[in-house]
């Protein structure tokens, strides 16, 4: 089994990607590297942030690794909150972030939005990117209890439920992250390069 480091300590993300990759790869995390430092995320794009995370790990530990960065882009808000999704209102409290977003969209007719994920992979000295996105719209009141982040106010295109009303399994088959992770997994499983 080949080991690959994922620059995260989020067990849900690790579980999701491990289940897609199967037995061929063993996903290791920052814990396995005993990395307790906060990895900076100061980029202005998802690509920059994801790459910043893999660069950080490569510089310190010299291992093949990948990292992701995600967020919500709202058309009528010039693609905000984007890389600032986790702290759009200035706080990390998601209730406050949702309220802030809804206030900014009050009276706005165009509710088009998308979730986007970019994965940066650094493998044997080469840099790769994988992207996933899902389009939908922002509703004006929260619906549903599942999921996290902006899930209660996002309805994916072609569906009637918000991400927060969907089962986790269903969300995990159509989400931006699932699409990007699937591309990463397809690449890893077909690549001949040894890790």
Least distance between ligand IMP and beta carbon 150 (Å): 4
Cα–Cα dist 66/5, whole Å: 6
Task: Give 5 or 150: the residue with its C-beta nearer to ligand IMP.
Answer: 150
Task: Give 69 or 165: the residue with its C-beta nearer to ligand IMP.
Answer: 69
Cα–Cα dist 180/133, whole Å: 8
Q: Which of 55, 69, 99, 110 is catalytic?
A: 69
- Two tokens at 147? 């999921």
Least distance between ligand IMP and beta carbon 18 (Å): 17
Least distance between ligand IMP and beta carbon 194 (Å): 29
Task: Give 25 or 163: the residue with its C-beta nearer to ligand IMP.
Answer: 163
- Would you mind telling me the total number of residues written for the chain in this entry? 195
Q: Is 99 a catalytic residue?
A: no
What is the binding site for ligand IMP (CB under 6 A)?
69-72, 85-86, 115, 147-151, 163, 175
Closest by CA to 193, choosing from 140, 125, 146, 138, is: 125
Cα–Cα dist 133/175, whole Å: 7
Name the DSSP class of 7.
Answer: S
Task: Give 111 or 195: the residue with its C-beta nearer to ligand IMP.
Answer: 111
Task: Give 21 or 149: the residue with its C-beta nearer to ligand IMP.
Answer: 149
Tally of CA atoms within 13 A in the half-sphere of 135 that contains its CB? 5
What are the backbone dihedrals phi and psi of residue 173, each rounded to the nearest 5 degrees, phi first? -95, -20
What are the backbone dihedrals phi and psi of residue 119, each rounded to the nearest 5 degrees, phi first? -110, 130
Least distance between ligand IMP and beta carbon 42 (Å): 14
Q: Which helix (H) or strand (E) holds 69?
A: strand 65-74
Least distance between ligand IMP and beta carbon 180 (Å): 10
Query: Do the strands 126-138 and 112-123 form a parallel or antiparallel pair, or are they unpaired?
Result: antiparallel
Active-site amino acid positions: 69
């Amino acid at each position: 089994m080949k080991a690959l480091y994922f620059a995260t300590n989020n067990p849900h993300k690790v579980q999701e990607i491990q289940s897609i990759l199967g037995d061929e790869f063993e996903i290791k995390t920052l814990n396995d590297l005993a990395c307790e430092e906060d990895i900076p995320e100061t980029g202005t794009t998802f690509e920059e942030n994801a790459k910043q995370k893999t660069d950080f790990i490569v510089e310190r530990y010299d291992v093949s690794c990948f990292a992701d960065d995600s967020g919500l882009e709202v058309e009528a808000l010039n693609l905000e909150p984007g890389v600032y999704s986790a702290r759009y209102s200035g706080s990390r409290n998601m209730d406050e972030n949702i309220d802030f977003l809804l206030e900014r969209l009050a009276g706005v007719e165009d509710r088009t939005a998308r979730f986007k994920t970019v994965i940066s992979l650094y493998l044997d000295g080469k840099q790769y990117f994988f992207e996933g996105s899902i389009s939908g719209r922002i509703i004006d009141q929260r619906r549903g209890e599942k999921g996290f982040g902006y899930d209660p106010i996002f309805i994916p295109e072609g569906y009637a439920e918000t991400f927060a009303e969907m089962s986790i399994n269903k969300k995990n088959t159509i989400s931006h992250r699932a699409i990007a992770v699937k591309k990463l997994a397809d690449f890893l499983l077909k690549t001949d390069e040894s890790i």
